[in-house]
């Protein structure tokens, strides 16, 4: 069912992803301001609150950049730039409706490989500035990565197994009837958790946490800071959007066209994550590692086993 996209889609994808990331960040800022200072008294105030991330971007652009002594500037630049690039590359296999920029034959593995580049990116951005707090942030992310990656890989493998295809389009086609989220609930839940962990956001924001003065992003300023913190939102958006073709039926749905269903479902997943963030306390990496290895990994293996048995007897 996958169709070829027009050639301008390559250029539209980064713009679209960046726009969705900015809207999501704006919604998060609106919720944060509402929790801090009460509900907005006028639509104008609400708009001003939602525009806070965009104002932050502009402020970073005009502000005098800070430098640290004996920083490895090249590694900082590579690390900060790699994060949004990795998120964009992972987004290449995201279908809008039934069309993605490139429906690679190994799309699911490609998505996994590209979001894994975040490991290198965050560690480099943490190491480069020659600052203890940002170094701690970089190491925290590696520890968090070791926790989330194994259950995450098993969860997306389970979706591919259920569809008997590594192509994201194939996974969507296999869900024209029953969504994978319905009969693979554990894999779906693990995917949402690892989406938060890989974007080191919400309950998993310790790598850039306030207790280490911003962690991996502590010493970044100017464009580097925009790239790393923006790349984090992009990664969150791409990972949340990826749960739609993998588990929520992609563009399948009644009445509305495919692209509209993708937009509605992605918005619902992002809204759920924004809501959940305000209901869950922050989780330290070492506790999360234990939960991930002792509970989630066996759970993901059992889920994969159940799906494998169902697929064999279909």
Partner 1 sequence: MEFVVFWVPAVLAVGCGALVFRFDSMARATFSLLASLLCTGGLVVLLGLDYLGVVVVLMMTLEMSVMAVFMVMYMMNPAGLTPMTMTHNTRAAAVVCGLLFALLAAGILSAPWPDRRGRPPDDPTLDLGMSLMGPQMLTMMTLAMALFATIVATVVLATRRGRYDRLGDGLRARRADDPVPGGVGR
Query: Which residues contact partner 1 by CB under 8 A?
Result: 70, 72, 74-75, 78, 104-106, 109-110, 112-113, 116-117, 119-120, 123-124, 127-128, 130, 139, 142, 145-146, 149, 166, 284, 286-287, 290-291, 294-295
Question: CA–CA separation, 190 vs 307, rounded Å?
Answer: 15
Compare residues 114 and 270 and give the one whose CB is closer to partner 1: 114
| Residue of 308, 312, 278 whose CA lies nearest to 32 | 278
Compare residues 52 and 120 and give the one whose CB is closer to partner 1: 120
Question: CA–CA separation, 23 vs 77, rounded Å?
Answer: 26
Compare residues 19 and 74 and give the one whose CB is closer to partner 1: 74
Q: How far is the CB of 70 from partner 1 (least distance, A)?
A: 6
Q: How far is the CB of 171 from partner 1 (least distance, A)?
A: 15
Compare residues 22 and 227 and give the one whose CB is closer to partner 1: 227
Q: How far is the CB of 106 from partner 1 (least distance, A)?
A: 5
Q: Which residues contact 4 (CB under 8 A, 6 or more apart)?
A: 99
Compare residues 179 and 288 and give the one whose CB is closer to partner 1: 288
Compare residues 20 and 227 and give the one whose CB is closer to partner 1: 227
Q: How far is the CB of 166 from partner 1 (least distance, A)?
A: 7
Q: How far is the CB of 28 from partner 1 (least distance, A)?
A: 27
Q: Check if the beta carbon of residue 129 is closer than 8 Å to that of residue 68.
A: yes
Question: CA–CA separation, 55 vs 312, rounded Å?
Answer: 54
Q: How far is the CB of 180 from partner 1 (least distance, A)?
A: 21
Q: Check if the beta carbon of residue 218 is closer than 8 Å to that of residue 71.
A: no
Compare residues 167 and 277 and give the one whose CB is closer to partner 1: 167
Q: How far is the CB of 100 from partner 1 (least distance, A)?
A: 16
Compare residues 71 and 267 and give the one whose CB is closer to partner 1: 71
| CA 135-140-142 angle, 5° bins | 100
Q: How far is the CB of 231 from partner 1 (least distance, A)?
A: 15
């Amino acid at each position: 069912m996958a169709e070829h996209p027009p050639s301008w889609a390559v250029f539209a994808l980064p713009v679209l992803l960046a726009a969705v990331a900015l809207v999501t960040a704006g919604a998060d800022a609106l919720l944060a301001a509402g929790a801090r200072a009460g509900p907005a008294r006028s639509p104008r105030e609400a708009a001003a609150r939602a525009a806070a991330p965009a104002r932050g971007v502009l402020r970073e652009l005009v502000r005098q950049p800070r430098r640290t002594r004996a920083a490895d500037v090249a590694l900082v630049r590579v690390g900060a730039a790699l994060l949004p690039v990795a998120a964009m590359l992972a987004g290449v296999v995201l279908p809008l409706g039934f069309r993605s920029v490139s429906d690679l034959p190994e799309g699911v593995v490609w998505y996994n490989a590209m979001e894994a580049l975040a490991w290198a990116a965050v560690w480099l951005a943490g190491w480069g500035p020659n600052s203890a707090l940002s170094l701690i942030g970089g190491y925290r992310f590696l520890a968090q990565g070791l926790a989330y990656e194994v259950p995450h890989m098993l969860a997306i493998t389970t979706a591919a197994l259920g569809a008997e295809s590594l192509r994201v389009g194939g996974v969507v086609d296999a869900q024209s009837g029953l969504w994978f989220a319905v009969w693979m609930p554990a894999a779906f839940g693990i995917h949402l958790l690892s989406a938060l962990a890989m974007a080191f956001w919400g309950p998993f924001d310790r790598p850039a946490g306030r207790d280490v003065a911003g962690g991996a992003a502590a010493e970044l300023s100017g464009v580097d800071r925009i790239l790393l913190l923006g790349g984090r939102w992009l990664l969150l958006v791409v990972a949340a959007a990826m749960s739609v073709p993998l588990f929520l039926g992609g563009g399948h749905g009644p009445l509305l066209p495919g692209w509209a269903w993708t937009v509605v479902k992605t918005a619902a997943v992002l809204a759920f994550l924004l809501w959940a963030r305000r209901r869950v306390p922050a989780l330290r990496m070492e506790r999360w590692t234990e939960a991930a290895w002792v509970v989630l990994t066996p759970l993901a293996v059992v889920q994969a086993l159940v799906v494998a048995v169902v697929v064999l007897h279909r």
